[in-house]
Amino acid sequence: MSQDNIQFPEPLLQEVARQIAKFPEGKQKSALLSVLHLAQAHFGYLSEPVMDYVARLLHILPIEVYEVATFYSMYDTKPAGKVKLEVCRTGPCMIEGAEKIVSYIENKLGIKDSETTADGIFTLKTVECLGACGYAPMLQAGEKFHEHLTEAKVDELIEQYRKNPVANYLGLENHGA
């Protein structure tokens, strides 16, 4: 991605303006986390040029963006697949069989945790508690929660996303890097 291609289209610039307008004048840095979500959804991941662009949009220093992008676990500073399958691995999900679901996905897709399939469609990631403990095991793809997972349900999901590798995020289509 070269520096020149990095530009939000008009509707996204309006969304950035809406996020900034939530805060008092001069406090536009408060919109940083939201704008980074937008940037990741649109550009696929937060490369250095993307982060620099966000810094310019918010009139803050690039370092202020880097330190935030590397702190929060939802941000990818490296390319990821078009659809991230984020399987919750924490206590309540573990006792309901999350580990088996992870192994099943690993075998089915031929990748390990944090890896991306060769076709660039799927990234598998184990994550900490997503607040769906009563409906375990579960995974999140884009902004959608898929609960009460079974191997059959995982098969269906993978089939569905392989046909249409779009995980909506903030109502945007994530086209991947």
Between CA 29 and CA 23, with CA 41 as vertex, the angle to 5 degrees is: 25
- For position 104 contacting another protein by CB under 8 A, the verdict is no
Per rule CB under 8 A, is residue 25 in the interface with another protein?
A: no
Closest by CA to 39, choosing from 19, 61, 22, is 19
Map residues 145-174 to x or -, x wherever contact with another protein holds by CB under 8 A.
x-----------------------xxx---
Sketch the per residue contact string, 53 through 92, with another protein: x for CB under 8 A, - otherwise: -----x-x---x--xx--xxxxx-------------xxxx
Three-state helix/strand/coil letters over 18-70: HHHHCCCCCCHHHHHHHHHHHHHHHHCCCCHHHHHHHHHHHCCCHHHHHHHHC
When the beta carbons of 15 and 108 are compared against another protein, the nearer one is 15
Number of residues interacting with another protein: please give it, by CB under 8 A: 46
Footprint on this chain of another protein (rule: CB under 8 A): 22-24, 27, 29-34, 36-37, 58, 60, 64, 67-68, 71-75, 89-92, 94-96, 127-136, 140, 143-145, 169-171
